[in-house]
Structure 1
Amino acid sequence: MNLSLPQLIAVYAIPVVLAITLHEAAHAWLAARLGDPTARLQGRVSANPLRHVDLVGTLLVPAAILLLGKALGAGGLLFGWAKPVPVDASAFRSPRRDLGLVAAAGPGANLLMALAWAVMLKVLILMAVRVEFLLLMAQAGILCNLGLAALNLLPIPPLDGGRIIASVLPLRAAILWYRLERFGLLIVLALLATGLLGAVITPTIGFGVDLISWLFNLAD
């Protein structure tokens, strides 16, 4: 189905905002559970998108990617971010371990949301609901959550994968690793511009889609 740009934005708007919002809320929730109330006190343990939305990263950048992809007649790797969740590692009992767990909570939430969208898609199919918009939105929910999880698990600080790696490295190596954080966004943007980011993430998303299709018997 060839969607116009407004239709494409309508299909992806809710899944993208939920994926980014609940990703950050999961970080905030687990940080609070592990002893750091910073994000909770700022209202970040919330499913309200307004608590997490970054105008540029959550709205403008994904919309621009959709627009560019539509104009070029090609699919693009949807990319975006929310306001980072503040974390005070000194409040944790085991700071390095707990920082790794908090980092893993975001991608973990995205994987759970991908499964939730798959359940919705399966229910729609079983109930023979032929509302094309809902079917496409469920598929978009699976794709953008798998994509956000795959992106954030890249071993590049300050992405979640980079922080997970730092949590298991020897202390001296972890300190050196964290020095890369100031260049993290530039590295990601360079990978995006050269197509290397898509070359890594697209097969990962494809594997996730195939696995979910098999688990929920969606292939037919």
Structure 2
Amino acid sequence: MGLLSLLSSDPLAFVIIAAALVLSLAFHEFAHAWTADRLGDPTPRRYGRVTLNPIKHLDPFGTLLLLLVGFGFARPVPINPNNLGRWGTMWTAAAGPISNLLIALVCVLLLKFAGASALAATILMTVLSINVVLAVFNLIPIPLLDGSRILGALFPSLGRSLAQFEAQPFSFVIVMVFIYLFGGQISGLISSVRNWVLNFV
């Protein structure tokens, strides 16, 4: 179900979820760009991606999918693995999910120790859930996701095969079909992790 369905039924929920998604996706991509930049790859900075400005990170088609069907994506950060090396590439890939886990941890701490109004608690719970979803989903080791790039850095021969697959024009369609076919299992995994995290609140 897309976000647009909430616009008429619960406008406040729409605003909270949309804002949390946009900012979380932007922070995720910024983490990739910042890490690559710090590790010696100037490519993200050359494309203006070392920024928290969401406009620089949102993908028009990915955002449209998010609004219509509830699943979307941000614009991938361009990097040059030759500037980063094997381990630099791995840490750049891992930076996105790690950033989402850090945001989720901050939300857990605020909910547990800071005390919050009902509205603030709702916002924090939404941000927490979204960032757990982003972290877990992106760590799945399938092509085009961060998990596959981490796996490819750990096993270079596999990484070369994954890179060749991702370079094919049909790779995006195949990955989307895979996610569609195994959406139930992926959702179950994400829900289990999210519920486990919520036990700490």
- Alignment partner of 1:188: what SS? helix
1:106 equivalent to 2:91? Answer no
The letter of the residue matching 1:121 is L
Q: Given the two structures, how large is their TM-score scaled by the length of structure 1?
A: 0.78
Corresponding residue of 1:63:
67
The letter of the residue matching 1:179 is Q
Write the distance in 2 (CA, Å) between the matches of 1:117 and 1:17: 17
Write the distance in 2 (CA, Å) between the matches of 1:170 and 1:13: 38
- Alignment partner of 2:188: what SS? helix
CA contact (8 A) 1:9 1:63 kept: no
Q: How does 1:121-200 map to 2 (within 5 A)?
A: 121-122=111-112, 126-127=115-116, 129-131=117-119, 134-171=120-157, 173-181=158-166, 182=168, 183-194=170-181, 196-200=182-186
Corresponding residue of 2:41:
36
1:86-133 CA-to-partner distances (Å, cap 9, x unmatched) read 1012222xx122111110001111111111222333356x24x233xx
- Alignment partner of 1:146: what SS? helix
1:86 equivalent to 2:91? Answer no
Corresponding residue of 1:27:
32
1:45 equivalent to 2:54? Answer no
Tell me, which stretches of 5 or more residues in structure 2 are unaligned?
A: 1-5
The letter of the residue matching 1:41 is R
Corresponding residue of 2:110:
120
Write the distance in 1 (CA, Å) between the matches of 2:45 and 2:194: 32
Give the aligned length: 192
Query: In the TM superposition, what is the alpha-carbon distance from 1:31 to its structure 2 partner?
Result: 0.3
Write the distance in 1 (CA, Å) between the matches of 2:178 and 2:103: 26
Q: Given the two structures, how large is their TM-score scaled by the length of structure 2?
A: 0.84
Write the distance in 1 (CA, Å) between the matches of 2:184 and 2:124: 22
Percentage identity across paired residues of the two chains:
35
Corresponding residue of 1:13:
18
Closer/same/farther in 2, CA of residues 5 and 199 from structure 1, 3 Å limit: farther
- Alignment partner of 2:72: what SS? coil
